[in-house]
Amino acid sequence: MLWGYEMDSRHMRHFVALAETLHFGRAAARMNMSQPPFSRQIAGIENELGVKLVERNSRNVSLTPAGKRFLEDSRGVLAQFDAACRDAQLVASGMKGELRLGFTMHAAHGTVPKLVRRYSEARPDVRLILEETIPTAIDEMLVDGKLDAAVTFAPHGVQLNSVSLARDRLSLIVPAGHPLAARKIVGAADLAGHSLIAAPATVAPTLRNAISDYHLAAGVVPSFIYEPRLQHTIVQLVAEGLGIALVPETVCSTLAEGVVAVSLRDPPAFDIVLVTPAVSSNPAVAPLVEVARRLRRG
């Protein structure tokens, strides 16, 4: 059976008004129209459905069983209809919706949870979708719209805006029992001859370059032995005694068993930022940036 694309939700509202008043004249008035066209509307609905919805004998109006059912269903449809309109506005205003937040464990330790918590308090109806990604993929995903925002290292291209979330610096981690583990502080020269574990430049260039530069500035040529892609793996390999690593200091706050953190003399520092597309179609992003700004201050 091919439906009634003639009938629409306005007709439904008319019917609901009639069903609630059981009076054509008053129902018509409620719909801001006169009674005759209103009667035609109802007749039109019944005609199109091929179903009698109201029993009327010019003195009493009552609902047929089909009419009772249609009333209940119509109320649901209209409520959902209005909710759809309201939701569209809420999403457009950034009060509701989804926000895909990318982050990289290389940078996100500590900052992402705090950011997420604050944001969720401010916008409880925005569902945050967290996606861990490698740093070099983040820019492209932001430009392509696969991410709405991301927490990663500065700096970034002109198509992207960034807000500083925190300033982090490199720290040394070594296996427990390692010759350097007992030191309070070490310099670049002390690192000569030790095997390094670090993400490759194709994954985390900011970190990788900082590590290399730190060595080279002291005339030490760094020797990388393993190059895993994930921050977690780096710490794990260190824990297993396979080498040492220079990692963001925030990572050291939750170290695995068997790994010791040692401060670096004159450590390289870098910004951890919230990056967003210069023009974002998602209205939920702006308040996230605002939260990030406040986070930096307080």
Q: Give the footprint of DNA on this chain (CB under 7 A).
A: 6, 22-25, 32-44, 56-61
**Binding of its own copies by 87 (CB under 8 A):** yes
Among 274, 278, 296, 290, CA closest to 94: 290
**Binding of its own copies by 232 (CB under 8 A):** no
**Binding of its own copies by 119 (CB under 8 A):** no
Nearest distance from C-beta of residue 73 to DNA, angstroms = 21
Is the separation of the CB atoms in 102 and 150 below 8 Å?
yes
Q: Which is nearer to DNA, 47 or 233 (CB)?
A: 47
Q: Which is nearer to DNA, 7 or 137 (CB)?
A: 7
CA distance 51 to 144: 51
- Which two structure tokens, joined as six digits, stand for 156? 């970034």
Is the separation of the CB atoms in 220 and 192 below 8 Å?
yes
Q: Estimate to the nearest angstrom the gap between the alpha carbon of 120 and the chain centroid.
A: 10
Nearest distance from C-beta of residue 190 to its own copies, angstroms = 52
Candidate ranges 90-98, 106-114, 155-163, 243-251; the one touching its own copies (CB under 8 A): 90-98
Q: Which is nearer to its own copies, 92 or 269 (CB)?
A: 92
Q: Which is nearer to DNA, 24 or 270 (CB)?
A: 24
Window 41-70: residues binding its own copies (CB under 8 A): 49-53, 55, 64-67, 69-70
CA distance 88 to 99: 15
Nearest distance from C-beta of residue 66 to its own copies, angstroms = 4
- List helix spans (H) across the chain: 9-21, 24-30, 35-49, 65-92, 105-108, 111-122, 135-144, 205-217, 231-239, 285-297
